[in-house]
Chain A
Amino acid sequence: MNRVVITGKGVYSCLGKNVVEVTEALKAGRSGIIYDPIRKEMGFRSALVGNVEIPDLKKEVGRKDRKAMPEQAMYAFVSTKEALTNAGMSQDFIDQNEVGILFGNDSTAGAVIEGVDLLRAKKDTTLIGSGNIFQSMNSTVTMNLSTIFRLKGVNFTISAACASGSHSIGMGYLLIKMGLQKQVICGGAQEINPYAFGSFDGIGTFSTQEDEPSKASKPFDKNRDGLVPSGGGATVILESLESAQARGANILAEIVGYGFSSNGEHISNPTKDGQVRALKMALEMGGVKPSEVDYVNAHATSTPVGDGFEAQAIHQVFGDNGPLVSSTKSMTGHECWMAGSSELVYCLLMMENGFVAPNINFNEPDEHSVKLNIPNKAVDKELNTIVSNSFGFGGTNSTLIIRKFAQ
C-alpha cells in the first residue's frame, strides 16, 4: 500500500479568491455572508448567501473551453490552477503522466434552467447553443477541467450531497493507496446562483436571521436556526509519497484515514450512529488514537437537528476533554458539494500556520455542544493530526484524517 500525501492546495470561496486571502479571513474570524435582495424578490424565505464573485477567465481560458463552463467549473478552474502551481506540477509533467481528477459536484441547476428557458422561448433545440449540454451535466467540472488541463488518468465526478467534496478526496486517496493512480487532482465545486438553492430554501433549512448576515450562521450555538448557502471551488493535489519525493515536491500533509458510512434511515435527518461509524473507520484506518487528534473540523451547518447529532457523535468518539472542535461554516456558510474539499483546504491552512479557526457566533452552547471544546476566537496551536467531517442528505457520511508529514 502506498502512503498518500497532499502537495498542493487552492481555494476560491466567500472568504477569499486564493489561499492567502482565505488564511487571513480564517484567522480573523471574518464572515463571507451577505444579504442578496434578488433572492427575496424571487420568493426565498432567506436572502442570506456567501459572497462569491464569478471570475473573469477570458485571458486564461480559450473561448471554446469557456463556453462549456458553468460558474462552478470556473471556480474549480481557479482553485485547481492555484493548487497545481502550489504543488509545482507543470503542464509538461501533466502531459507526460497519467494525472487523474475526481471532483465532488451534485447539481447544475443554473445551466439546466437556462437551457430549458431558452427551449421554451425559442421552441428550437439548436437555439439553446452548444455550451449548455456540457454546462448542465453533473460531471461538468471534471469534464471541463480534464479537457483544459489535458488530464489522462481517472476522470469522474462524485455526487454525494454535502459530502461530495470529501468523498472525492477519500476516493482519490484510496486509488493512490492501492497503486491504481500516482497523482489525482481532487476537489469540490458548488454553484451559488439562486436556482441552485430555491428548493433547498423551501424546506426551511436556511437561517432567516437576516438582520445581521455575518451572525446568521452559528453552528453548535443554542440559538442557531439554519444554514446559510455558499459556494466556490476547492482543490487538493494528492500524490503517492514516491511520486511527491521523485518530483521534489513540498509535502503539505499526509492523508492517513478515510471513513465512510450510510445511515440507512431518514433522507434529510442525520443520525449519530452513522457518523460515529465513519469517524471510527477513519481513525482505525489511520491507526490514530482519539487522544492524538488535535482538532476536528466539524461538518456542523448551523441546523438545529444536524449539529446536535454531530456534537453527540464527536463526544462519543473523543470523550470528555476532547480535541478543539470548530465549524468553519460559521464564517463560510455551507459550501455544500464543495464543503468537504474546501474544509480540508482550511485544515491544511491551519496546520501550515499553526492555528485553529474560530467557530464564530458560538455564544451559548446547547445540551450537546456544551460537552465539546469549541473556541469562538482563533487559537494559536501546533496541529499534527486533524479530522474533517462531512455529511449529506441520504445519510452519506465521510471523515478524512490528515497528519503533518514525517518520514
Chain B
Amino acid sequence: MIIMDKAQIIEKVNEFLMEEFEADAADIVADADMHEALDLDSLDYVDLVVLIDENFGFKTTSEDFQTITTFDDFYNFIASKVG
C-alpha cells in the first residue's frame, strides 16, 4: 500500500484519467459528475479497478463505484484507502 496526501492522489488520478481515459483536463472538475464527464459504462469501471491497483496498490471492485458521483468523491474514496 502506498501512502499519499490528497494533492498527490488528485495529481495521480487526473494523470491516469487523461492518459488512459483520454479525458480533457478541462472536464476534470472536482464537483463535476465523473460518470457523465467521462461517459463511463460498465466496462470502464473494470478498467478503473485495474488502474487503481496499478497506481495505488489496493484491490477494489466495480461495485465500490456505486457510492461515487463526483471526481471529489473518487479522490476521497482513494484517500480513505491510501491517505
Which residues of A come within 8 Å of B, CB atoms?
A: 63-64, 67, 122, 124, 126-127, 129-131
- Contact, CB under 8 Å: B49 / A126: yes
- Contact, CB under 8 Å: A129 / B50: yes
Q: Is residue B44 within 8 Å, beta carbon to beta carbon, of the partner chain?
A: yes
- Contact, CB under 8 Å: B22 / A63: yes
B50 contacts across to A, CB distance below 8 A = 126-127, 129
B44 contacts across to A, CB distance below 8 A = 64, 130
Q: Is residue B24 within 8 Å, beta carbon to beta carbon, of the partner chain?
A: no
Q: Lowest 8 CB-CB distances: which A-B pairs, in order?
A: A130-B43, A130-B46, A129-B50, A63-B22, A126-B49, A130-B47, A127-B50, A127-B53
**How far does the Cβ of B50 sit from chain A's closest Cβ, in whole Å?**
5
B59 contacts across to A, CB distance below 8 A = 124, 127
Q: Is residue B21 within 8 Å, beta carbon to beta carbon, of the partner chain?
A: yes
**How far does the Cβ of A126 sit from chain B's closest Cβ, in whole Å?**
5
Per the bound structure, the CA–CA distance linking A126 and B49 in Å amounts to 7
Which residue of A has the minimal Cβ distance to B43?
A: A130
Which residue of A has the minimal Cβ distance to B61?
A: A126
- Contact, CB under 8 Å: A64 / B41: yes
A126 contacts across to B, CB distance below 8 A = 46, 49-50, 61-62
- Contact, CB under 8 Å: A63 / B49: no
Further contacts, 19 of them, CB under 8 A, given A124-B59, A126-B46, A130-B44: A63-B20, A63-B21, A63-B22, A64-B43, A64-B44, A67-B47, A122-B53, A124-B53, A126-B49, A126-B50, A126-B62, A127-B50, A127-B59, A129-B46, A129-B50, A130-B43, A130-B46, A130-B47, A131-B43
Best-buried of B20, B49, B61, B62 by chain A (most CB within 10 Å): B49
Per the bound structure, the CA–CA distance linking A67 and B22 in Å amounts to 12
B53 contacts across to A, CB distance below 8 A = 122, 124, 127
Per the bound structure, the CA–CA distance linking A263 and B76 in Å amounts to 65
How many A-B residue pairs lie within 8 Å, measured between CB atoms?
Answer: 28
B61 contacts across to A, CB distance below 8 A = 126
Interface membership of chain B positions 14-57, coded 1 if the CB is closer than 8 angstroms to chain A and 0 otherwise: 00000011100000000000000000010110110110010000
**How far does the Cβ of A70 sit from chain B's closest Cβ, in whole Å?**
16
Which residue of B has the minimal Cβ distance to A118?
A: B50
Which residue of B has the minimal Cβ distance to A134?
A: B43
A122 contacts across to B, CB distance below 8 A = 53
**How far does the Cβ of B75 sit from chain A's closest Cβ, in whole Å?**
21
Per the bound structure, the CA–CA distance linking A368 and B59 in Å amounts to 64
B62 contacts across to A, CB distance below 8 A = 126
Per the bound structure, the CA–CA distance linking A122 and B53 in Å amounts to 10
Which residue of B has the minimal Cβ distance to A129?
A: B50
A129 contacts across to B, CB distance below 8 A = 46-47, 50
Per the bound structure, the CA–CA distance linking A67 and B46 in Å amounts to 12
Best-buried of B21, B41, B50, B62 by chain A (most CB within 10 Å): B50
**How far does the Cβ of B38 sit from chain A's closest Cβ, in whole Å?**
10
Which residue of A has the minimal Cβ distance to B62?
A: A126
Which residue of A has the minimal Cβ distance to B41?
A: A64
Per the bound structure, the CA–CA distance linking A67 and B50 in Å amounts to 13
Q: Sample 12 A-B pairs with CB under 8 A, ordered by A number.
A: A63-B22, A64-B44, A67-B47, A122-B53, A126-B46, A126-B62, A127-B50, A127-B59, A130-B43, A130-B44, A130-B46, A131-B43
Per the bound structure, the CA–CA distance linking A63 and B43 in Å amounts to 12
**How far does the Cβ of B28 sit from chain A's closest Cβ, in whole Å?**
15
B41 contacts across to A, CB distance below 8 A = 64
Which residue of A has the minimal Cβ distance to B40?
A: A64
- Contact, CB under 8 Å: A127 / B22: no
